[in-house]
């Protein structure tokens, strides 16, 4: 992680105060003076502030049930930030692992472990995300097989050069489906259904990897050690 972030994670200093310490020459990494705030460090490095060794606090991993009309942002905007749902010390140190639109509900992960979140969102990990989608137009028995096949083979989204990765579509009713994707393109689910001439009227994320949403709207909980490990090594979807 960045040196300034490590200092915040191991002291009571905020990002600006941590930067001041680095710029002032108060930080050594493995006995070498470092004045670059973006210098990359690891918890196993010997890092000192004014000669005192710093030890990072344990990382936090959180599941949140995002309410409708809340922002995947650290600050309020046209709608309130989803961080308003969380009462924790130093909540500002957390970041969101895979954002949802303001009008989308469901499972959101938050952490202060950048390596863990990167392993979940990086494209080659093919981490599954399952959404419950409410559609404007019904998928009929006559065209269901073709629609499912088109999602499995990949769709051409507007302004994209390549097809989407294979996705799994399951019909719940004619206007409600479960969609599992392994990408995170901008407004991807809405754009996928737009590509077949349909429209998403409701969107809810139920699952990321093997982790299923199990808290009520606006509520949150810490992940277990097993859940953290499971999400670090997701299993690609089988079509």
| Among 99, 126, 113, 96, CA closest to 209 | 126
| Among 79, 166, 181, 182, CA closest to 133 | 181
Which candidate in 4, 50, 101, 103 is catalytic? 101
| Among 194, 139, 120, 128, CA closest to 165 | 128
- For this structure, is 146 an active site residue? no
User: Could you give the CA distance from residue 41 to residue 59 in angstroms, rounded to a whole number?
Assistant: 15
| Among 175, 137, 169, CA closest to 155 | 169
| Among 146, 61, 151, 71, CA closest to 104 | 71
User: Could you give the CA distance from residue 190 to residue 67 in angstroms, rounded to a whole number?
Assistant: 18
Q: Give me the DSSP letters along 212-239.
A: EP-S-TT-EEEPPHHHHHHHHSPPPP--
Just list the catalytic residues: 101
């Amino acid at each position: 992680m960045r040196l300034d972030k490590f200092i915040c994670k191991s002291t009571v200093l905020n990002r600006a105060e941590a930067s001041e310490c680095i710029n002032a020459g108060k930080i050594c990494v493995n006995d070498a003076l470092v004045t670059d705030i973006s210098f990359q460090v690891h918890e196993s490095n010997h890092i000192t502030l004014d000669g005192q060794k710093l030890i990072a606090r344990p990382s936090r991993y959180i599941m949140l049930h995002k309410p409708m009309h809340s922002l995947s942002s650290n600050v309020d905007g046209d709608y309130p930030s989803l961080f308003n749902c969380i009462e924790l010390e130093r909540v500002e140190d957390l970041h969101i692992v895979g954002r949802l639109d303001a009008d989308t509900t469901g499972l959101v992960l938050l952490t202060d472990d950048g390596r863990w979140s990167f392993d979940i969102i990086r494209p080659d990990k093919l981490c599954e995300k399952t959404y419950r989608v409410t559609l404007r137009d019904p998928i009929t028995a006559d065209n269901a097989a073709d629609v499912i096949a088109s999602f499995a083979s990949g769709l051409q989204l507007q302004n994209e050069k390549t097809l989407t990765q294979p996705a799994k579509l399951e019909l719940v009713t004619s206007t409600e489906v479960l969609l599992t994707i392994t990408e995170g393109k901008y407004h991807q689910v809405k754009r996928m259904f737009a590509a077949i001439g349909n429209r998403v009227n409701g969107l809810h994320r139920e699952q990321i990897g093997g982790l299923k949403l199990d808290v009520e709207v606006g509520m949150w909980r810490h992940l277990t050690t097993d859940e953290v490990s499971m999400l670090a090594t997701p299993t690609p979807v089988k079509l």
